[in-house]
Amino acid sequence: MTQLSALIARALDDMCEYQERFTRDPGHAQVSLAGVPHALVPTHVVASDLPRELVEILGAELAPAVMYRFGRLIGLSHAAAFFADRKIGMTEPQYRVLTGPFHFAWAGYGDVQLLLWEPKLDEDFLVLWESDNSFSAREALNDGHRSRACHLQAGYAAGWASEATGLPIDVQEIACRAEGVSYCRFAMAHRDRVSLWMSDPRLHRPTKQYEVMPVSMPRAASV
């Protein structure tokens, strides 16, 4: 855990320096992060309005898959830009995976607490994590929805981890705050094994039974 703590401290510093290069240029209608153009979108549009439109167009079964793919594309793009800018190569796959939660928080998707950390570079890859403030779950609760909502977050994490490792990583949400629990829990695993992991009892323990490791940005003090 000492080695992991050192990597977390490094990731915090690395991401803080990177995120300081967030700029707005209204004269050219451009918002950029480290030279990569972005467009600001209200969370309610992404978490509620867009999924509702997708259900209307595609149906309830396909809409979550589209949101997952959308999140995955964003995660892939953010990860590739960050690794290239910071010159973090494939010789540091664990560090590349670990930087994901910090970008996840900076981008407004949620915070992350690691519960299981086994990022092996093969089919046994497994990372279990939780978030207690996913914006998708928050918006779903505000709208009165009581079903799993964090398809975008799951896709984002899958995209980042896939770019970080070169493996086909998938992410499944095991529990969601929108369902009435106190956290959203996600399992990250190799695409060929992720379904098998779902029956592993290690993924379904109460949070207090894990050695929880926060890997997100420090929260501002309450005023």
Query: Could you tell me if residue 143 is inside a domain?
Result: yes
> What pLDDT digit, counting tens, does each position of 90-131 carry?
999 999 999 999 999 999 999 999 999 999 999 999 999 999
Query: Could you tell me if residue 20 is inside a domain?
Result: no
Whole-model pTM over 0.75 = yes
Query: Could you tell me if residue 98 is inside a domain?
Result: yes
**For the domain that residue 170 is a member of, what is the CATH number?**
3.30.1380.20
Domain that holds residue 147: 41-215
Query: Could you tell me if residue 135 is inside a domain?
Result: yes
Query: Could you tell me if residue 8 is inside a domain?
Result: no
Q: Based on C-alpha coordinates, what's the Rg of the chain?
A: 17
Which pLDDT does position 1 carry in this prediction? 53
- Total domain count for the chain? 1
Query: Could you tell me if residue 13 is inside a domain?
Result: no
